[in-house]
Amino acid sequence: MLVLALDTATPASTAALVEVTPDGLSGVAERRTVDPRAHGERLAPEIAAVLADAGLRPRDLTAIVAGLGPGPFTGLRVGLATAASMGQALGIPTYGVCSLDGLGRAAGPGRVLIATDARRREVYFATYRDGERVTGPDVAKPADVTVDVERAAGEGALKYGDVFGVPVEEHLLYPPGAALVALAADRIRGAAPSEILTPLYLRRPDAVEPSARKPVLT
pLDDT at res. 141: 97
Residue 176's pLDDT band, with cuts at 50, 70 and 90, is very high
Q: Kindly tell me if the per-residue pLDDT of 213 is higher than 80.
A: no
Q: Tell me the per-residue pLDDT of 53-104, one tens digit each, with 9 for 90 and over.
A: 999 999 999 999 999 999 988 899 999 999 999 999 999 999 999 999 999 9
pLDDT at res. 203: 74
Going from N- to C-terminal start, the domains of the chain cover 2-99+175-189, 101-169
For domain 2-99+175-189, the CATH class is alpha beta
Q: How far is Cα 167 from Cα 113, in angstroms, rounded to an integer?
A: 10
- The reply to whether 2-99+175-189 and 101-169 are identical in fold is yes
How far is Cα of residue 133 from the mean position of the Cα atoms in its chain?
15
pLDDT at res. 209: 52
Q: Kindly tell me if the per-residue pLDDT of 144 is higher than 80.
A: yes
Q: Kindly tell me if the per-residue pLDDT of 210 is higher than 80.
A: no
Q: Kindly tell me if the per-residue pLDDT of 184 is higher than 70.
A: yes
Q: Is the dihedral of CA 65, 68, 74, 80 positive or negative?
A: positive
Query: Starting at the edge strand that comes first in sequence, how are the strands of the sheet with 122-129 ordered?
Result: 132-140, 122-129, 111-119, 151-153, 168-169
Q: How far is Cα 20 from Cα 107, in angstroms, rounded to an integer?
A: 20
Residue 207's pLDDT band, with cuts at 50, 70 and 90, is very low
pLDDT over 70 percentage in the chain: 93
Rounded mean pLDDT of 28-37? 94
pTM: 0.91
Residues facing residue 13 across a β-bridge:
33
- Residue 13, SS3 per DSSP: strand
Residue 139's pLDDT band, with cuts at 50, 70 and 90, is very high
pLDDT at res. 215: 54
CB 80 within 8 A of CB 21: no
CATH number of 101-169, picked from 3.30.70.20, 3.30.420.40, 3.30.70.100, 3.30.830.10: 3.30.420.40
Q: Are strands 94-97 and 63-67 parallel, antiparallel or unpaired?
A: parallel
pLDDT at res. 205: 52
